[in-house]
A and B are shown apart, each in its own frame.
Chain A
Amino acid sequence: GQQLNQSPQSMFIQEGEDVSMNCTSSSIFNTWLWYKQDPGEGPVLLIALYKAGELTSNGRLTAQFGITRKDSFLNISASIPSDVGIYFCAGQGGTSYGKLTFGQGTILTVHP
């Protein structure tokens, strides 16, 4: 089946630093999504990408859909303590009919 490799697995940064994480796939995806999960909560959508090459921003977050359709990255600029959490990438293929394949997650810790 489809697999996503997300890296890094964890990051420890100082407040104010920029963060970058990425996902790569062995298969082509038609949609890339980035989610954040706080402790005890379900994942919450941050950014959705629908076209190869698309670059989308949401406040301090920027994500891109790779041209090959097999990768995506998420950048967080000027991190703040509330950015702490687990970030997941997820991909949706052409015949998956609403099924998402998730990366393993990146655990982000921000030190004040």
Chain B
Amino acid sequence: NAGVTQTPKFQVLKTGQSMTLQCAQDMNHEYMSWYRQDPGMGLRLIHYSVGAGITDQGEVPNGYNVSRSTTEDFPLRLLSAAPSQTSVYFCASSLNRVTEAFFGQGTRLTVV
């Protein structure tokens, strides 16, 4: 039972490069979301999705794009990486809005 799987685990980018962080869940969960974690700030919501084809912005969406073409996958795209996007990124999924979210193991991204 894989749960929520994130790839890659580590990534170093140069300023201006683009990349996609992958997230997949095998629990048939409706809700998926992306958070970033920075020291002393807890986790902050970037984007979320309430189902295939539906996405919305969270607290810190600037610089990130998402799409949800299938229930299982919710990739996060950085179009032009900036040093301020250096962070640990977590993907989460939940069955519906009143149930708890399950998290992946995270992607540690460094932008130089």
Hey, which bits of chain A sit against chain B, CB under 8 A?
A: 1, 4, 6, 9, 30-31, 33, 35, 40-45, 48, 50, 88, 90, 92, 96-105
Contact = CB atoms under 8 A, between A and B. Distances in A.
A31 B101 CA distance: 11
B42 A103 contact: yes
Interface of B: 4, 30-31, 33, 35, 40-45, 48, 50, 58-59, 90, 92, 94, 96-106
A45 to B, nearest CB: 5
A45 B45 contact: no
A48 B40 CA distance: 23
Given A40-B105, A48-B100, A98-B101, 12 more contacts: A31-B98, A42-B92, A43-B43, A43-B103, A45-B100, A45-B102, A50-B98, A96-B97, A97-B50, A98-B48, A99-B45, A102-B44
29 contacts: A1-B59, A30-B98, A40-B105, A40-B106, A42-B90, A42-B104, A48-B100, A50-B98, A88-B43, A90-B43, A92-B97, A97-B50, A97-B97, A98-B30, A98-B31, A98-B33, A98-B48, A98-B50, A98-B96, A100-B33, A100-B92, A100-B101, A101-B45, A102-B42, A103-B42, A104-B40, A104-B41, A104-B42, A105-B42
